[in-house]
Structure 1
Amino acid sequence: MLATKQPKPKTCKNPACRASFVPQRLGQAVCNYTCGLAIKEVNQEKARKSLAQVERREIKVRKEKLKSRAEHLKDTQQAFNEFIRWRDQVAGHPCISSGRPLDWSGNQTDAGHYRSTGAAPHLRFDERNCHAQSKADNRFLSGNAVDYRVGLIARIGLEAVEALEADQSVKKYTVEDLKALTAHYRAKTRDLKKGAAA
């Protein structure tokens, strides 16, 4: 008579248990009924989370499709402004208009435009036209334009400042342009953050 082969011991798949057991039936993965219920609950929770992630992604895609051009412009402006603040922080620049050190720890630093986005919307995303500036100068001193010009000449040169001042071109951004610019400035900001963390 042939001896029947005994099954090899297994480790329980329940992460809370991990006990060694000899399976009683084919495909048995847990040592007892309680561990089986625990695994089932874990799998159901994973499935719920996965479904929730899919739903969130679908909602995000639907919202993106419903966005107006103005909302895309706002997104691009936020991405651009964040890049400007990181660019000047990494470079160690002081406030462009006052020359004082900037407070990078809180929410005290703006990305201030030399020629405002209202007066020169075509220069809204021109990196020469925007620099880190204290909130006090940008918001309460209307950009402190005279001192901003002095600081800008010191930073980029008189010729570049005069070119900015003379620029009267017209630029219309499509939704696709704005999406591309948003992605571009988010990527540049990520690179700056990685460099600063290294």
Structure 2
Amino acid sequence: MLVAKQPRAKKCRVASCRASFVPAQPFQTWCSPDCAVVIIRQRQEKQRKSFAQRERRDIKVRKEKLKSRADHAKEAQAVINRYVRLRDAHLGCISCDKPASWGGQWHCSHFRSVGAAAHLRFNLWNMNKSCSQCNAHLSGNIMVYRPRLVAKIGPEKVEWLECNQNLVRHDIPYLKRLKAVFAKKCRRLEARIQCNAA
């Protein structure tokens, strides 16, 4: 004759309770109806969060599909501009005498503007840290910018920038890769700057 096995005592799954109880059913993980309500609410909240997370992910994917090449170029440009400001953090303005310790807003200034030479908009020789006044109000202050750029990168590279007419149209996959690569470089530079500051 087989004897029915007595169920073993369990601990209630509710974190605030954790009372020991003997379950009436094998799947039971709560000690009382009040704890059962708490567990059901926790499960519902978990499902709601999971659903909201899936919904946000779907919206992100749909938004990504709607982006134009210009949108991707703008995002890549913002990341590279940040990289240039970090790269040149120890330098002052390329177009005037403001030191690196200047308390105003720093920009990334293009030697050849994006409007005049869109094919050079992501070229790092063409991009340097500049104060907001020179970049925004003096259109880069080119008369001072050029000699300082020659001193920084050399006359051959500056002449190459000035003569380059190789019109390249960057496609969306290239812009996405560019953004990802420079976002990673920014994180590394920021970590290095923080280590040096500590």
> TM-score, normalized by length of structure 1?
0.86
**How many angstroms apart in 1 are the aligned matches of 2:55 and 2:175?**
26
Letter matched to residue 54 of structure 1: R
2:95 pairs with 76, 97, 106, which one?
97
- 2:56 is matched with which residue? 56
Secondary structure of the corresponding residue to residue 82 of structure 2: helix
AA aligned to 2:46 is K
Q: Which runs of 5+ in 2 are unaligned?
A: none
Aligned to 2:43: 43
Structure 2: how far apart are the matches of 1:193 and 1:21?
A: 54
Which residue pairs with 2:153 in the alignment? 156
CA contact (8 A) 1:102 1:133 kept: no
Q: What residue in structure 1 maps to residue 121 of structure 2? A: 124
Cα distance in 1 for residues equivalent to 2:23 and 2:118 = 72
Q: Does 1:169 align with 2:173?
A: no
Identity of aligned residues (%): 46
1:29-77 Cα shifts (integer Å, max 9, x gaps): 1221111111111111111111111111111111111111211211111
Give me the whole-angstrom Cα distance separating, in 2, the residues matched to 1:46 and 1:96.
53
Map of 1:65 onto structure 2: 65
* Residues 175 and 4 of structure 1: CA distance in aligned 2, closer, same or farther (over 3 Å): closer
Alpha-carbon spacing, 1:48–1:2, altered in 2? closer, same or farther (3 Å): closer
Give the drift of 1:156. Answer: 1.4
Q: Distance in 1 between matches of 2:193 and 2:8?
A: 53
CA offset at residue 2 of structure 1?
9.7
Equivalent AA in structure 2 for residue 80 of structure 1? I
8 Å Cα contact 1:97/1:150 also seen in 2 = no
Q: Give the partner amino acid of 1:44.
A: Q
What does residue 87 of structure 1 align with? 87
The equivalent of 1:146 in structure 2 is 143
Alignment CA distance shift 1:103-1:22 (3 Å): farther
Q: Which runs of 5+ in 1 are unaligned?
A: none
The secondary structure found in structure 2 opposite 1:110 is: strand
Give the 3 Å change call, closer, same or farther, for CA 113–70 of structure 1 in structure 2.
same
Pairwise CA RMSD: 2.4
Letter aligned with residue 130 of structure 1: M
Partner of 1:16: 16
Give TM-score, length-normalised by structure 2: 0.86
Q: Give the drift of 1:177.
A: 2.0
- Partner of 1:18, secondary structure, is coil
